[in-house]
Amino acid sequence: MAGRRHDERANVSHRDHLRRSIVPLWAAVLALAVCAPLFARGYVLSYDMVWVPHLDLDRAELWGLGSALPRAVPSDAVVALLGSVIPAAVVQRIVLFAALFLIATGVGRLLRDRPLAAQLAGATFAVWNPFVAERLVLGQWPLLLAAAAIPWLIAALLDEEGPRWPIVVVALAGTALTPATGLMGLVIVLVAGRKRVLPVLGLAGLLNLPWVVAGVVHSGGQSDPAAVGLFEVQGEGHFGRLGSVLTLGGIWNSEVVPTSRTLGLTVAIAAAIGVVIIVGLVTVWRGDRQLLGVLAAAGAVGLVLALAGWLVPDLIERIVSDVPGGGLVRDGTRWLALLVPLEAVAFGAGVCALLHNARAWVTPIAVLGLVLPVAALPDLAWGVGGRLEPATYPAAWTNTRTAIAESDVSGDILVLPFSAYRRPSWNHDTPVFDPAGRFFGRTTVTNDELDVSGETIRGEGPRAAAIGKVLNGTKVLAELPEQGIGIIVVDTKAPRADEALALIAGAEELPIAGDELRLFALPGATPSETAPGDRWAMTVAWLLAGLTLLGGVGAALRRSDRETPEDNPRDVTQA
């Protein structure tokens, strides 16, 4: 009898383990369906997603000590640190896959007390939506990682036994990759922290210190309020502005909108999804009002900020121009990351409720729960319809990097033509923020003015603005060294390259192989220097944030070693 009971317990444990594995396996399938093109050689370079073979760790801007506002602090430093151990191309693939996998499993965890069908449906919706598709094409991988961390953070803060501190720390670190996402993490802490909100806020403060301190160091930068009108929510296809936002779309850049969003059939499918979500909201209200309250509060913040640039533009313009860091709210639709968990959980719960009342229609409804999100956005598959196609840098880029490293010319690098974005033919004509800003081994100055819908948004970096004035003057070669520029790289394939070459006529050219780039040296330049006080402040910020994260990761690893299935009976999925 004892042996039979032991066998029965073993069989139950094995079945429970299989059930717990289904959601992660499904999440991996979803992520692979999107990331499949990334198995090709090269790097995905799309709008803000700039990946280079070597991101040097000694670059001041990585650590918040450059001349521009710290929009890529600490995300660039994380990439550089990982790239020093793992090939950069592998790091990119891990990051993109992890973002999709974790957002699916995170929503599945929020639905862990509901049947397996609900978890799978919620996980599918969390990945397969316009927000994920558009931000992938726009290249905002830190935003997607933060969106993936949010459901995990909510689940850890709402745990019945009290906050799961290791997961809280790691999830907060995931939201702290950029200033905007760091604020999203703070929103979650405020709405879900409950009685532990002060200690969690303390952790969040420590983990966000790098960009906070860097922002104080660069407090002179200011965002252009004219950007508010250019970044306001846009209608997609037949959805209109409000409908686009409620369906997690509405991005300001029409070029990154999937084609399926413009089809009339998509509206009908989205309406069906909306009905399921409404049913799910009622279901969650009846079963777990605390979870619904947290998700609804966070979603409301995201929805309000997404619509604010359209509904109250004057207010947002004042915030952008007068409030330090106010530029973080100008792209309102990125804040829809806070709405994704609410709609995904509600969709999963709605499928569960329909199944409960379906009787003979159980299988068709379960299948529809997985199919509807995919049917509404079929072109998210295969790298958003092939838009995320890897490219390889021409040999001239590597040759130029080598020539700069071997040169004894002092000073920083200036890239011409002086424009923020490129559309290189070797990158399948996909727009990308000038990769030269990260590719070479020295501090590199690029233009941070943005052209949106034919309008120019003023840049935020004082050094780039000063160099722009020099380039518009008559003594370019004499004044650039005074700005610390000793090396000029000209992208000969970019528009207006001939004008750029004319500006620096007479400069000494350094020979390199390849015709995509040309390299010039200017004597007498002095590299830019960092004030000792700024360096100390950033060192302390990085040290505190790093120690906090290491403590959280260590605690998470120790806890995972100790836990067994019996320790977490609530994690057992009910089929």
Residues 385 and 403 in one domain: no
DSSP of 424-489? -GGGTT--EE-THHHHSSS-EE----EEETTEEEPP--HHHHHHHHHHTSS-HHHHTGGGTEEEEE
Domain that holds residue 500: 395-521
Residue 427 to residue 195: CA distance in whole angstroms: 51
Residues 60 and 195 in one domain: yes
| Beta strand extents in 285-420 (DSSP E only) | 412-416
| 3-class SS of residue 421 | strand
Residues 339 and 381 in one domain: yes
Residues 405 and 380 in one domain: no
What is the token pair recorded at 214? Answer: 């860097």
DSSP of 211-270? HHHHHHHTTT----TTHHHHHS----TTSHHHHHHHTT---S-GGGS-GGGGSHHHHHHH
DSSP of 361-398? GHHHHHHHHHHHHHHH-GGGHHHHHHTS--B---HHHH
Residues 434 and 361 in one domain: no
Residues 361 and 494 in one domain: no
Residues 466 and 451 in one domain: yes
| 3-class SS of residue 49 | strand
Domain presence at residue 529:
no
Residues 20 and 70 in one domain: yes
The pairing of strands 508-510 and 455-457 is unpaired
Nearest to 107, CA basis, from 117, 121, 86: 121
What is the token pair recorded at 229? Answer: 């009108």
Cα three-residue angle 87-61-182, rounded to 5 degrees: 85
Domain presence at residue 537:
no
Residues 385 and 417 in one domain: no
CB-CB contact of 211 with 73 (8 Å): yes
Residues 54-81 as b/e (b if ≥16 CB within 10 A, e otherwise) read ebbeebbbbbbbbbbbbbbbbbbbbbbb
Per the confidence metrics, is the pTM higher than 0.75? yes
HSE at residue 155, side-chain half, CA atoms within 13 A, is 24
CB-CB contact of 484 with 530 (8 Å): no
What would you report as the CA-atom Rg of the chain, rounded to the nearest whole angstrom? 25
Domain presence at residue 103:
yes
Residues 98 and 176 in one domain: yes
Residues 69 and 116 in one domain: yes
Which residues, 6 or more positions from 386, have their beta carbon under 8 angstroms from its beta carbon?
A: 37
| 3-class SS of residue 127 | helix
pLDDT digit string (tens) for the chain, length 575 residues: 555 555 545 554 555 666 789 999 999 999 999 999 998 999 999 999 999 999 999 999 999 988 777 889 999 999 999 999 999 999 999 999 999 999 999 999 999 999 999 999 999 999 999 999 999 999 999 999 999 999 999 999 999 888 899 999 999 999 999 999 999 999 999 999 988 999 999 999 999 999 999 988 876 567 788 889 999 999 999 999 999 999 999 999 999 999 999 999 999 999 999 999 999 999 999 999 999 999 999 999 999 999 999 999 999 999 998 888 888 999 999 999 999 999 999 999 999 999 887 766 777 888 888 999 999 999 999 999 999 999 999 999 999 999 999 999 999 999 999 999 999 999 999 999 999 999 999 999 988 888 776 777 887 778 888 999 999 999 999 999 999 999 999 999 999 999 999 999 999 999 998 889 999 999 999 877 788 899 999 999 999 999 999 999 988 888 766 654 444 444 433 33
How many domains does the structure of the chain reveal?
A: 2
Residues 208 and 244 in one domain: yes
What is the token pair recorded at 180? Answer: 């905007």
pLDDT in tens, 485-534: 999 999 999 999 999 999 999 999 999 988 899 999 999 998 777 888 99
Domain presence at residue 526:
no
